[in-house]
Structure 1
Amino acid sequence: MNNIDAEVIVPLRVEHAVVMAKIEKLAHTHPWSEMSLKECFGPLYRVVGIKRQDDLCGFAIVQQIIDEATLLDICVAPEKQGSGLGAALMQQLIDDAKNAGAVVLMLEVRQSNKAAKYLYDKVGFIEAGRRKNYYPTHDGYEDAILMDLSLD
């Protein structure tokens, strides 16, 4: 897998879910549970992490069915955000999806998540639709922006 400076991207195993859940709780307002993360280790999923030495700094989960890959979650520890780790994970996901025969990588993102939307725009994702009032917020709901990246 990819090496960038002192970071390395590696496949993760279900036992990493404990640390993934800790990162998730720090990074997201509505984090996935440890159990939900554990359910993403199976034949339809790829789960990769980015490590610095032995410290897990972030992770991503992709589900692929035939030639359609969906980014379900990408998460970098808050203190490590802005250092290129998310971009490195995203490039690895794109490469892995292409190598596995995917023709499209899809995702959805909260409309308020400007940092993630910037990353997705930067690598070429385009808005494909919206789910109105999809994500809960502290004071109501917000839209999910559906995005696609063509891989062929």
Structure 2
Amino acid sequence: MSTRPREALPKLRPLEVLDLDALMDIERRAYSHPWTEAIFRDCLRAGYTCWALDQRQLLIGYSVTSLAVGEYHILNLTVRPESQGRGHGRFLLRSLLNWAKTHGAENAFLEVRPSNRTALNLYLSEGFNEVGLRKAYYPSHRGREDALVMARAL
């Protein structure tokens, strides 16, 4: 019998302005070219659907999404680097897709760097398919990197 304590289940809740300090710490550590705090503030102000993923009152992940005319767009989905590899990204993605479906979305879309194999494998394993390519979409250390456009029916 194992005496190892169970890991607390993560909880999804709406993202708040008060989360931005913790969010920006994660964003800067997770990406070579992070979004700015101003971008996140604009998303909150504009009414994008923004989610926080908490575990033991610690922000471990977040997302920024948009729902319009039956289309759900995942604009940012991030898990803090030290919490990756534990299923939190999959939990967050599935939660987002379930929420979108219950709110009338028929299809979900996202962009991902081809070099981000971990994220790409997650999306493929959750039923997303490549439907397009955005040339030179992302900034990179060598200039620009393409984005794979992925979609799945809900």
| TM-score, structure 1 as length reference | 0.92
- CA distance in 2 between counterparts of 1:10 and 1:46 reads 11
Instruction: Indicate whether 1:126 and 2:132 are aligned.
Output: no
Question: In the TM superposition, what whole-angstrom CA distance separates every residue of 1:22-73 from its partner, at most 9, and x where no partner exists?
Answer: 1100101110011101111146421111111110001011111121110000
CA distance in structure 1 between the aligned counterparts of 2:36 and 2:115, rounded to whole angstroms? 21
C-alpha RMSD of the superposition: 1.4
The secondary structure found in structure 1 opposite 2:85 is: coil
Structure 2 equivalent of residue 95 of structure 1? 98
| TM norm structure 2 | 0.91
Q: Does 1:48 align with 2:51?
A: yes
Structure 2 unpaired stretches of 5+ = 1-6
Residue deviations 1:122-142 (CA, integer Å, cap 9, x gap): 100000000122212111221
Q: Aligned partners of 2:138 and 2:69: how far apart in 1? A: 27
Amino acid at match of 2:70: D
2:105 counterpart of 1:110:
no
- The total of aligned residue pairs comes to 148
- Flag structure 1 segments of 5+ consecutive residues without an equivalent: none
* Equivalent position of 1:31 in the other structure: 34
Identity %, equivalent residues: 36
Larger radius of gyration: 2
Structure 1 segments (4+ residues) deviating >6 Å: none
Counterparts of 1:136 and 1:68 in 2: how far apart (Å)? 26
Q: Confirm or deny: 8 A CA contact 1:44 1:65 kept in the other structure.
A: no
- Judged with a 3 Å threshold, the aligned counterparts in structure 2 of structure 1 residues 44 and 99 are, in CA distance, closer, same or farther, namely farther
